[in-house]
Structure 1
């Protein structure tokens, strides 16, 4: 089953939290940002290979937005 890539922050957040059931807590977000910034991370290289560099950049932007949202909710 191929699902379309999210096109907005709201869609992306829904995919992570509702479809995948992953809470977007601060530690998870920071871990993902570190991994996404690591050119040597196998999963980051695979992500870019599968979804492209533009979606990789957009995903990092969405994780940063989620981090800001998390900070506001404390």
Structure 2
């Protein structure tokens, strides 16, 4: 089982800061929708790798963060 306390992002605010400030990615509705679709595709290679590394629960958390970012845009 994956220990979620060791993840880099413990909150939406940390995650959003990393995406928008450190990575200079604009969380537009189009971008967030494409990321959500990709992360929900269990056959997508990157989604498989993400899930294997971080676990299903963290995958779902990140999808929720993208959904929140879409609502805020």
The root-mean-square deviation of aligned C-alpha atoms, in Å, is 0.9
1:26 is aligned to 2:39:
no
Q: Which runs of 5+ in 2 are unaligned?
A: 1-6
Q: Structure 1, unaligned stretches of length 5 or more? A: none
Kindly report structure 1 stretches of 4+ aligned residues shifted beyond 6 Å. Answer: none
The TM-score normalised by the length of structure 2 is 0.86
Cα drift, residue 57 of structure 1 = 0.7
Structure 1 length as normaliser, TM-score?
0.85
Residues in 2 aligned to 1:65 and 1:52: alpha-carbon distance in whole angstroms? 20
User: C-alpha distance in 2, partners of 1:52/1:19?
Assistant: 24
* 1:4-63 Cα distance to aligned partner (Å, 9 max, x none): 521111001001111111110111100000001101100001111111111101001100
Q: Which has the higher contact order (CA 8 A, sep 6+)?
A: 2
